[in-house]
Chain A
Amino acid sequence: EAQVTQNPRYLITVTGKKLTVTCSQNMNHEYMSWYRQDPGLGLRQIYYSMNVEVTDKGDVPEGYKVSRKEKRNFPLILESPSPNQTSLYFCASRGVNNSPLHFGNGTRLTVT
């Protein structure tokens, strides 16, 4: 089944403790991206990647890192999480041209 898989689904951590949210897709998509969703602010793009070893900042990249060493994986790294990064995170991928985005099921992160 074609899908975007994120792990974990839920994560509670403390300020400053490094964490990684994994994202993997099995559709051989070149493009992958990360969004966060907050009440009243909608979905905002954090980082995106057009291909392996090609990443770029989205609208809200501060406090986040990403890497794209393989086509299928696009992990989101929080080196020193802070409470304002408490949010619902979505990974997405898509194929070429006007093909639609496929989203993962989300990771709900709480930083205390």
Chain B
Amino acid sequence: DAKTTQPTSMDCAEGRAANLPCNHSTISGNEYVYWYRQIHSQGPQYIIHGLKNNETNEMASLIITEDRKSSTLILPHATLRDTAVYYCIVRVPQRAAGNKLTFGGGTRVLVKP
């Protein structure tokens, strides 16, 4: 699985959009970009994933650059409950070897009132 690089931490104002960047310059053509978040010691929660097109769901939007070497997760209107560690993961979904997700350090997002 391709390695990802994320900022260690970032702050965001409540009600504003939070833009979380992720670099994955070694991504290969069949690898998807997944985003999960973990709210203090709870189980990681799936947010969104995509291959090359931008994606949107009820939680967030995912913008993937044309060369697929980086992506941005957008939380459109951050709330205090969005305070969490956000993980960007790149993997081949059908990969048989354990189907594990390799979680890096993630970005610790603090939403402030």
Q: Do chains A and B stick together as partners?
A: yes
In the complex, the number of residue pairs spanning A and B with C-beta atoms less than 8 Å apart equals 53
Given A56-B98, A100-B46, A101-B46, also A43-B103 (CB < 8 A): yes
Expressed in whole angstroms, the Cα–Cα distance for A48 and B97 within the complex equals: 10
- The interface residues of chain A lying within 8 Å CB-to-CB of B99 are 31, 33, 48, 50, 94
Interface residues of A in 16-74 (CB under 8 A from B): 31, 33, 42-43, 45, 48, 50, 56, 58-59
Let me know if B81 is at the binding interface, CB within 8 A.
no
**Shortest beta-carbon distance from B6 to chain A in Å:** 12
- The interface residues of chain B lying within 8 Å CB-to-CB of A56 are 98
Interface residues on chain B, number (Cβ under 8 Å): 19
Interface residues of B in 67-113 (CB under 8 A from A): 93-94, 98-101, 103-105
Interface residues of B in 38-53 (CB under 8 A from A): 41-46, 49
Interface residues of B in 7-55 (CB under 8 A from A): 32, 34, 36, 41-46, 49
- The interface residues of chain B lying within 8 Å CB-to-CB of A106 are 41-43
Q: Are B98 and A97 within 8 A (Cβ)?
A: no
- The interface residues of chain A lying within 8 Å CB-to-CB of B34 are 100
Please encode chain A, from 96 to 112, with 1 for each CB lying within 8 Å of some chain B CB and 0 for all others. 01111111111010000
Measuring CB to CB, which residues of chain A are less than 8 angstroms from any residue of chain B? 4, 31, 33, 42-43, 45, 48, 50, 56, 58-59, 88, 90, 92, 94, 97-106, 108
Measuring CB to CB, which residues of chain B are less than 8 angstroms from any residue of chain A? 32, 34, 36, 41-46, 49, 93-94, 98-101, 103-105
12 A-B residue pairings within 8 Å (CB atoms):
A4-B43, A43-B44, A48-B100, A58-B100, A90-B43, A90-B44, A97-B93, A98-B49, A101-B44, A103-B43, A103-B44, A106-B41
4 closest A-B pairs by beta carbon, nearest first, are: A103-B43, A98-B93, A100-B46, A45-B100
